[in-house]
Structure 1
């Protein structure tokens, strides 16, 4: 099945998920589109996992940068932060 989303062709796939019966019952009672809700949740989980991965991979550089800022201060101070 294909849908058009903001002029981008997105291929969609059917999958099987196992979800708690009480969660599904509440979603249906609220007339939620469970496919869209599941996709949104998975997208958010992917975004968080990518962010965590990026932070792990860049931990040394971030720590070095923060140590330099603590030692020497910022290289540039914006006008709004000047006294």
Structure 2
């Protein structure tokens, strides 16, 4: 079962290594490093979860696609386009 990510989850301190030139530019623009990192991680985790789901369900998706190719969609006879 997929674990939901919530903004109310407690935060945990961590150490990161960032290129010094990039860090200096981020500070110059007042970029919130924690918020930026969380946003980037949320996107990456979502991509990983999607890829994992597709891999786990590839056989079923292939079977469904093969069935559709062979028999068409159930709604084909009702479509007007």
Corresponding residue of 2:44: 45
Corresponding residue of 2:64: 65
Q: TM-score scaled to structure 1, two decimals?
A: 0.76
Structure 1: gaps of 5 or more residues: 1-5
Corresponding residue of 2:17: 18
Report which of the two has the higher share of strand: 1
Moved beyond 6 Å, runs of 4+: none
- Identify the structure with bigger relative contact order (alpha carbons < 8 Å, sequence gap 6+): 1
Structure 2: gaps of 5 or more residues: 1-5
Evaluate the alpha carbon distance shift between residue 27 and residue 75 of structure 1 in structure 2; reply closer, same or farther with a 3 A threshold: same
Q: Distance in 1 between matches of 2:33 and 2:39?
A: 10
Q: TM-score scaled to structure 2, two decimals?
A: 0.78
Q: RMSD across aligned C-alpha pairs, in angstroms?
A: 2.3
